[in-house]
Structure 1
Amino acid sequence: MTVHFVGAGPGAADLLTLRAARMLGAADVVLYPGTYLDTAVLGHCRPEARLVDTQDLDLDAITAALVDADRDGADVVRLTSGDPSLYSALFEQTRRLDAAGVAWDVTPGVPAYAAAAARVGRELTVPLVAQSVVLTRTQARSTAMPEGERLEAFAATGATLVLHLAVTRTRALAADLSASYGADCPVAVVYRASQPGEQVLTGTLGDIADAVEAAGLRQAAVILVGRALAGPKATGAGESYLYDAGRDRSLKRTGPGA
């Protein structure tokens, strides 16, 4: 048997991949993160499937449930919010599964930052403004950040920043980031992107903390920071060379797909 780690997407039941929906429909046991997941996603499961909410379980208890279900011959899905490649504890869980001799695989999902960017209608990489996106978080009551991954260093690049697990520190972060981006830099905070309780707050580093605190946001929010968020009003924005009318397209493609 195999334990399937499946990205549940940002929350909406129709933002799962076709593969993810198919795997949920076949699963005997599904472990899911109740804190972050819209339970409508579980509508893809069979009525007789056993559903386990992991929000009150520690890592060892979660792994034990996966191992036990696998050894019982069950088809097991471990749902993660967004995509398993980001802040999903995939590393910790699969290391334990390897030690237990349990096979596993991974199915990607729509990441929360992509859903947040879609909700505000912004591309995070605008020509001549920002061509890099930094996915990171901050440290509060959480795992220590590696020494070299200082937020100030990322901010100094001018790249678009995507901050996870950081909404409770919005005021301090805005103050710190203003030194590199300027207090007038656009910011978007998207709470529970694509879910029924979704909230979208937009502003600048100078005023976004007031809006976040007024809304009482404490978790499940993504913070987007950068000049690219100005969209059509982004100062100095250019256009992609790939689609430039002046680009030489005379070279003929050869081989398959030509």
Structure 2
Amino acid sequence: MASVIQFVGAGPGDPELITVKGKRLLEAADVIVYAGSLVNPALLGYAKEGAEIFNSASMTLQEVLDVMAPAAQAGREVVRLHTGDPSIYGAIQEQMDALDGVGVSYEVVPGVSSFLATAAALKQEYTLPDVSQTVIVTRMEGRTPVPQKEKLASLASHQATMCIFLSVHMIQDVVDELIAGGYAPETPIAVVQRASWPDQRILRGRLNDIAAKAAEEGVDRTAMIVVGHCLDKEYELSRLYAPEFGHMFREAKK
């Protein structure tokens, strides 16, 4: 009887940040195909003895499918282990569509994205009252293009909190686009490299100096860029806990 392939979000790096469900599936897997360029290899310590493990960093899409599909059709438990949450820059849609084409079933187990681990590292709430109630998750255009309406300069016009993936190697271009879109050069910005890993590093600055800081520290990959006035630490207190603000769980106090 065929089994169901499990696409599992491994979390941002810390092996303890995989979900309980993801860990259970990983422990039971007969075949594991993991994104070796980003997934912490320590997670493979959860694999059972005898599990077949494949690093997809050196594989093509077809090679990945040629491992997963026959194993699932043979009734073996298969985990496709992606970094963070697989729905964000995970390239899983093409895998799922291909599996649909050959009649192989699959499920997706969400994970903790690196933009959330970055907020934890910064000890920062992205959605502050009277500052920003919107978080934009995006990337700078590189070898992979972005739609015209999603250029950084266009998104910057909203002045929302922005979490920018896969772009730290082009940080000066990122800064130029953000300023062109309306952010002032003094807007606060943070760069977090390898959030939740033991060698995590945090750089803080302003748009007009962060590129130099990143170059000086040699931060040019595996880092999240966060920009926005939520980093200013000036905001209105939430109405949720204000004594005069009543709701279904608490009456307003006069």
Decide: shared fold, TM above 0.5.
yes
1:168 is aligned to: 169
Q: CA offsets per residue over residues 161-193 of structure 1, 9 Å max, x none?
A: 010111111011112212422111111111111
Deviations 1:235-255 (A, max 9, x none): xx11222222111347889xx
Q: Distance in 2 between matches of 1:36 and 1:250?
A: 44
Partner SS for 2:15:
coil
The residue aligned with 1:243 is 241
RMSD: 1.6
Deviates more, 1:105-114 or 1:60-69: 60-69
When normalised by structure 2's length, the TM-score is 0.93
Q: Of 196, 199, 224, which aligns to 2:198?
A: 196
Q: Percentage identity across aligned positions?
A: 36
Determine the structure 2 residue equivalent to 1:123: 125
Query: In structure 2, what is the Cα distance between the partners aligned to 1:96 and 1:156?
Result: 38
Output the amino acid matched with 2:191: V
Paired with 2:248 and 2:168, the residues of 1 have a C-alpha distance of 50
Q: Tell me the matched-pair count.
A: 248
Matched, 1:152 2:153: yes
Per-residue deviation, 1:53 = 0.6
**Matched residue type, 1:112:** S
Which one of 16, 25, 28 corresponds to residue 27 of structure 2?
Answer: 25
**Kindly tell me: are residues 29 and 241 of structure 1, through their superposed partners in 2, closer, same or farther at Cα, counting changes over 3 Å?**
same
Aligned mates of 2:212, 2:248 — CA distance in 1? 54
Aligned amino acid, residue 101 of structure 2: A
Measure, in 1, the Cα distance between the counterparts of 2:174 and 2:156.
11
- Structure 1: runs of 5 or more not aligned: 254-258
Take 1:251 and 1:50, find their aligned partners in 2: how far apart are those partners?
A: 51
Please state whether the residue corresponding to 1:181 is helix, strand or coil: coil
Give 1:48 deviation, angstroms. 1.5
| CA contact 2:141–2:151 (8 Å) conserved in 1 | no
- Structure 2 match to 1:209: 211
Structure 2: distance between partners of 1:251 and 1:113: 31
Change (3 A) 1:23 1:205: same
Matched letter for residue 108 of structure 2: V
Deviations for 1:132-165, whole angstroms, at most 9, x for unmatched residues? 00000111122x2122212112111110001011
CA deviations 1:43-98 (Å, max 9, x no partner) are: 11112111111111122221222112212321000011100110111211100000
* Equivalent pair of 2:12/2:113 in contact (CA under 8 Å): yes
- Provide the rounded CA distance (Å) in 2 between the counterparts of 1:43 and 1:115: 21
Structure 1 counterpart of 2:60 = 58
Residue of structure 1 in register with 2:137 after alignment: 135
In structure 2, do the counterparts of structure 1 residues 185 and 27 end up closer, same or farther at CA, with 3 Å as the change threshold?
A: same
Shift of 1:4: 0.2
Look up the equivalent residue of 1:55 and give its one-letter code: A
The amino acid that maps onto 2:190 is: A
Is the deviation greater in 126-135 or in 31-40?
Answer: 31-40
- Of the three residues 93, 96, 107, the one matched with 1:94 is 96
Counterpart of 1:256?
none
Residues 21, 109 of structure 2: 8 Å contact kept: yes
More divergent stretch after superposition (36-45 vs 105-114): 36-45
Q: Which has the higher mean CA deviation after the structures are superposed, 112-121 or 168-177?
A: 168-177
Distance 1:58 1:88 in 2: 14
Q: CA separation in 2, counterparts of 1:109 and 1:182?
A: 34
